[in-house]
C-alpha cells in the first residue's frame, strides 16, 4: 500500500521540474525551443546556452579560436568552421577602467559629481553630451568635472591596473647634481719650483759635492766649491776698505764718510754677484778673503740635470745644475671638451696612481688653460697637490676625479627612469590625478647620480611616473594614432 502512494508523488515532482525548465527557457532564452527541430543545429543550442550563462557579461570582441592575430566585433567562424571565442570585458587586461553601464550612470554615479561629457570607450576622438553606445555596443565612458578636460592624450588607468603594473611616481624637485668629472693626466714638477744654477762670473769647479743626477738636495746645502779671481778680488777690496775705515775712526769726518762708502760699495758688488749671504757675513766678521766659496742649493728638491764636473771651467750664465722642488707637485689633466663647463678653479680633486693601489691624494684645481687640443679635443687643467714625502713622481700616469658639487647650482630634476627617450624626443608622464597620466615632451640637460636635469616641460612639485611608464606611453601613442586615423577618415570619406 505504501508503494502505491510513493509512485504518484515521484510522478508529480518530475512533472513540476519539466514545467519549470520549460518556463525558464521561454522567459530567459527566447532563441531556444522546447525541442530540436530539423532546421536547428546543435551548435546553435550551444550558443543559446552560452548566452544564458553570459547574459550579464559584456563582450568586447571575438578572437580567433586558433590564436591567430585576428579579431571581430561580431560572432563569426574561421575557415575550419570553428566559432570565434568571445573576450569579455573582465577578461581583457586594459589600461582603461571598466566602462559603467547606462544604469550605472543613472544610479551609481555619485550625486556630487557632474558629468562633463561621455567619451568613446576605444579612445576615438568622439564625445557625446548624453550616454550612448558605440557600433560594438560598448557604453561611452563619462568624464567628470573633477577629472578636468584634456586633449585626448591623457591616459586613464584603473586602480587595479596601476597596482598590477607597479606604477610608481616621484616628485620633480630641485637638487644639486653630483656630477664628478673624470680625466687622466700626468704628474709633473711645479714650474714655480724649477731653477737653473748658474753664476754671474767666470770661475772653476774646485770640488763637486753633488755629482749625480736625481740626487736630493736641501736648501742651503753646498753643491760645489768654486774659485773665481773676480770673487777673490772683490773680497779683498772689501777687506782693504774695512781696514781703512777702522783706521780713520775718530779723525776727519769726510775721510770716515769716504771710507764707509768704499766698504759699502765692496759689499754691494758681492751681493750683485749673488755671493751667498753666509759668505758675506763671514767676510764681515773675519775680514779675510777666501780663495774658494761654497755655492749652495737655492731650495730643496732633486737634481734634474747636472752639467758640471770637477775641475771644469764655467762662464757667466752657463747652466751648471737644474733643480726641481717636489712639493707641491702638479698633475696636468686632460678634460673632455664637454666637461670643461663644469670645472672651476678651487674645486677639490682626487688623484690616484697605479703605484699606490687603494690610496688617493687630494689637491685642488689651480689653473684652467685657455686652449683646447685640436686633435684630442680636450682642455688642460692644472692641479696642485702637497707632496712632502715625494711619493708622487714626475711622469706618473694619474686618474683624476674633480668634485664639481661646490660650484654647481640647484636645477630641476627627475629620476632617469622617468624620461622616455626614443632618440628624437624625450617625454615624461605627469600624474594629473590618481590613475590619470599625461605624456609631456621635455628638454633635458645634465645627468648625474641617477637624475636628469629638466630645462623645460615640467614644473617643480609635479609628480612623474618612474616605473611602468613605457607601457603607459605605448597606450598614449596608440590613442594618438587612432585619433589621427579617425580624423583622416573624416576628412576623406
pLDDT tens figures, 168-186? 899 999 988 877 899 999 9
Segment 247-252 shows an average pLDDT of 79
The CATH class for the domain spanning 181-189+326-402 reads mainly beta
Percent of the chain scored above 90 by pLDDT? 48
What digits encode the pLDDT tens for the residues 118-146?
878 776 667 788 898 888 888 888 877 65
Please give the full DSSP string across 216-257, using - where no structure is assigned. Answer: EE-TT-EEEEEE-HHHHHHHHHHHHHHHHHHHTTTS-HHHHH
Q: Rounded distance, CA 62 to CA 86, Å?
A: 4
Confidence band for 470, pLDDT divided at 50, 70 and 90: low
Q: Is the peptide bond before 328 cis (omega within 30 degrees of 0)?
A: yes
Q: Which residue has the higher pLDDT, 487 or 449?
A: 449
Grid cell for residue 464:
612623474
What pLDDT sits at residue 7?
A: 38
Q: Is residue 97 predicted with pLDDT exceeding 80?
A: no
Is 377 in contact with 340 (CB distance < 8 Å)? no
Q: Is residue 20 predicted with pLDDT exceeding 80?
A: no
Alpha-carbon separation of residue 457 from 137, 427, 451, 468, 469 (angstroms):
39, 9, 16, 20, 17
Q: Where, residue-wise, is CATH 2.40.420.20 in the chain? A: 168-174+409-491
What digits encode the pLDDT tens for the residues 376-423?
999 999 999 999 999 999 999 999 999 887 566 889 999 999 998 888
Is 289 in contact with 235 (CB distance < 8 Å)? yes
Which residues are 456's β-sheet partners? Answer: 443
Q: Please tell me the least confidently modeled range out of 262-271, 465-474, 479-488.
A: 479-488
For the chain, counts of helices (H) and of strands (E): 8, 29
Percent of the chain scored above 70 by pLDDT? 75
What pLDDT sits at residue 422?
A: 81
Q: Is residue 192 predicted with pLDDT exceeding 60?
A: yes
Burial class, 285, CB count within 10 angstroms (exposed 0-12 / middle 13-18 / buried 19+): exposed
Is 131 in contact with 120 (CB distance < 8 Å)? no
What pLDDT sits at residue 35?
A: 41
Task: Give me the CATH code for the 168-174+409-491 domain, please.
Answer: 2.40.420.20
Alpha-carbon separation of residue 336 from 66, 182, 341 (angstroms):
58, 9, 10
**pTM, full prediction:** 0.55
Q: Where, residue-wise, is CATH 2.40.30.170 in the chain? A: 181-189+326-402
Q: How many CB atoms lie within 10 A of CB 460?
A: 11
Segment 335-351 shows an average pLDDT of 93
Confidence band for 48, pLDDT divided at 50, 70 and 90: very low
Q: Is residue 493 predicted with pLDDT exceeding 60?
A: no
Amino acid at each position: 500500500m505504501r508503494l502505491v502512494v510513493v509512485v504518484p508523488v515521484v510522478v508529480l515532482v518530475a512533472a513540476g521540474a519539466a514545467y519549470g525548465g520549460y518556463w525558464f527557457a521561454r522567459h530567459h532564452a527566447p532563441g531556444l525551443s522546447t525541442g530540436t527541430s530539423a532546421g536547428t543545429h546543435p551548435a546553435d543550442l550551444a550558443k543559446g546556452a552560452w548566452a544564458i550563462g553570459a547574459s550579464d557579461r559584456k563582450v568586447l570582441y571575438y578572437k580567433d579560436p586558433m590564436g591567430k592575430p585576428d579579431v571581430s566585433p561580431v560572432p563569426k567562424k574561421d575557415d575550419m568552421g570553428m566559432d570565434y571565442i568571445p573576450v569579455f570585458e573582465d577578461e581583457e587586461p586594459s589600461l582603461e577602467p571598466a566602462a559603467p553601464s547606462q544604469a550605472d550612470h543613472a544610479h551609481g554615479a555619485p550625486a556630487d559629481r557632474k558629468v562633463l561629457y561621455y567619451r568613446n570607450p576605444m579612445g576615438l576622438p568622439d564625445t557625446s553630451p548624453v550616454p550612448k553606445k558605440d557600433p560594438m555596443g560598448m557604453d561611452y565612458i563619462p568624464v567628470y568635472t573633477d577629472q578636468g578636460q584634456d586633449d585626448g592624450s591623457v591616459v586613464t588607468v584603473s586602480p587595479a591596473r596601476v597596482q598590477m603594473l607597479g606604477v610608481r611616481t616621484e616628485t620633480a624637485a630641485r637638487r644639486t647634481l653630483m656630477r664628478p668629472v673624470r680625466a687622466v693626466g700626468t704628474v709633473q714638477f711645479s714650474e714655480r719650483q724649477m731653477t737653473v744654477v748658474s753664476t754671474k762670473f767666470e770661475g772653476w769647479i774646485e770640488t763637486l759635492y753633488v755629482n749625480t743626477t736625481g740626487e736630493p738636495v736641501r736648501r742651503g746645502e753646498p753643491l760645489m766649491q768654486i774659485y773665481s779671481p773676480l770673487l777673490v778680488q772683490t773680497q779683498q777690496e772689501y777687506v782693504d776698505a774695512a781696514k781703512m775705515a777702522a783706521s780713520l775712526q775718530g779723525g776727519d769726518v769726510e775721510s770716515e764718510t769716504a771710507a764707509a762708502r768704499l766698504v759699502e760699495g765692496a759689499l754691494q758688488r758681492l751681493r750683485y754677484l749673488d755671493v751667498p749671504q753666509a759668505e758675506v757675513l763671514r767676510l764681515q766678521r773675519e775680514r779675510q778673503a777666501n780663495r774658494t766659496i761654497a755655492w749652495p742649493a737655492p731650495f730643496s728638491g732633486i737634481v734634474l740635470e747636472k752639467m758640471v764636473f770637477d775641475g771644469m771651467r764655467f762662464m757667466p750664465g752657463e747652466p751648471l745644475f737644474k733643480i726641481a722642488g717636489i712639493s707641491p707637485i702638479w698633475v696636468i689633466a686632460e678634460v673632455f671638451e664637454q666637461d670643461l663647463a663644469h670645472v672651476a678653479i678651487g674645486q677639490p680633486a682626487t688623484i690616484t696612481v697605479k703605484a699606490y693601489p687603494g690610496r688617493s691624494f687630494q689637491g685642488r684645481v689651480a689653473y684652467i688653460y685657455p686652449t683646447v687640443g685640436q686633435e684630442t679635443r680636450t682642455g688642460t687643467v692644472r692641479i696642485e697637490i702637497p707632496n712632502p714625502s715625494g711619493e708622487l713622481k714626475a711622469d706618473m700616469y694619474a686618474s683624476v676625479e674633480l668634485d664639481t658639487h661646490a660650484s654647481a647650482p640647484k636645477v630641476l630634476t627627475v629620476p632617469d627612469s622617468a624620461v622616455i627617450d626614443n632618440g628624437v624626443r624625450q617625454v615624461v608622464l605627469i600624474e594629473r590625478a590618481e590613475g590619470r597620466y599625461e605624456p609631456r615632451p621635455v628638454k633635458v640637460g645634465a645627468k648625474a647620480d641617477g637624475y636628469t636635469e629638466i630645462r623645460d616641460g615640467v614644473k617643480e612639485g609635479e609628480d612623474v611616473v618612474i616605473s611602468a611608464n613605457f607601457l603607459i606611453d605605448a597606450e598614449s601613442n596608440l590613442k594618438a594614432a587612432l585619433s589621427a586615423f579617425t580624423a583622416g577618415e573624416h576628412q576623406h570619406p
